[in-house]
Amino acid sequence: MPVIAPMPAAHSAPIPSQRDSAEEAVAAGTTVDHLTETYRAHYRSLLGLAALLLDDTASCEDVVQEAFIRVHSARRRVRDPEKTLAYLRQTVVNLSRSALRRRILGLKLLSKPMPDMASAEEGAYDQLERDALIKAMKGLQRRQREVLVLRYFADMTEAQVAETLGISLGSVKAYGSRGIAALRVAMEATA
């Protein structure tokens, strides 16, 4: 297999690249020194601008610092040193708007407050009452228990209970009243 060797470099004049012209534009436009001077001269006024748009000092300082960072990153695009301050002001305004939008969105997304819940103590008492009621229901006669469960827990009418159990409407009323009386006695005994 043939080996391909690189051609020897010919000594020729360097071709000006786009990078050289960009560096010349930076030299003519916003340099780091110019940005440093702008920072010293206008930091407080930019902080005041942010303070008019935002409400806390920390956010204002963050916005102004971020504006200077962005201008430094985009210094090749700002060719005219006279436009640096205008670019900084616009960046401060835009960053302040973004901060406000994030705050509003955060407020909208906050979870709703939890509804008032019973304390653990109340829950324990409720559980004890349920346990006592279940124990008292087990002590009833079978028909009394069936009538009370269908009537009050299944929320059926007396006619529906009678039809379901295959007994008369009078029997449903009799079993129901005797069952409630027996429950009352059993519950008072546990209290």
102 and 24 in one domain? yes
Q: Which of 7-11, 71-75, 88-92 has the highest mean pLDDT?
A: 88-92
Do 98 and 131 share a domain, yes or no?
A: no
> In sequence order, which residues have a C-beta less than 8 Å from that of residue 134 and are 6 or more positions away?
none
Cβ count within 10 A of residue 103? 13
Q: What is the pLDDT of residues 14-64, one digit of tens each?
A: 445 555 544 544 444 467 788 888 889 999 999 998 988 888 889 999 999
Has residue 149 got a pLDDT over 50?
yes
- What is the arithmetic mean of pLDDT over 130-156? 89
**Structural domain contains residue 14:** no
pLDDT of residue 121: 77
**Per-residue pLDDT, 25:** 43
pTM above 0.75, yes or no: no
Q: Which of 87, 69, 85, 92 is nearest to 37 (CA)?
A: 85
With b for 16 or more beta-carbon neighbours within 10 A and e for fewer, the 135-173 pattern comes to ebbeebeebbbbbbebbeeeebeeeebbeeeebeeeebe
pLDDT of residue 30: 61
Q: What is the CATH number of the domain that holds 57?
A: 1.10.1740
Q: How far apart are CA 62 and CA 59, in angstroms?
A: 5
| Domain count for the chain | 2
Please identify, among 106, 137, 157, the residue that sits at the C-terminal boundary of a domain. 106
- Are both 82 and 134 inside the same structural domain? no
Percentage, residues of the chain above pLDDT 70: 80
- 89 close to 46: Cβ distance less than 8 angstroms: yes
Same domain, 142 and 78: no
Residues 86 and 138 in one domain: no
Residue 47 is assigned to a structural domain of this protein: yes
Q: Which domain holds residue 72?
A: 20-106
pLDDT recorded at residue 5: 41
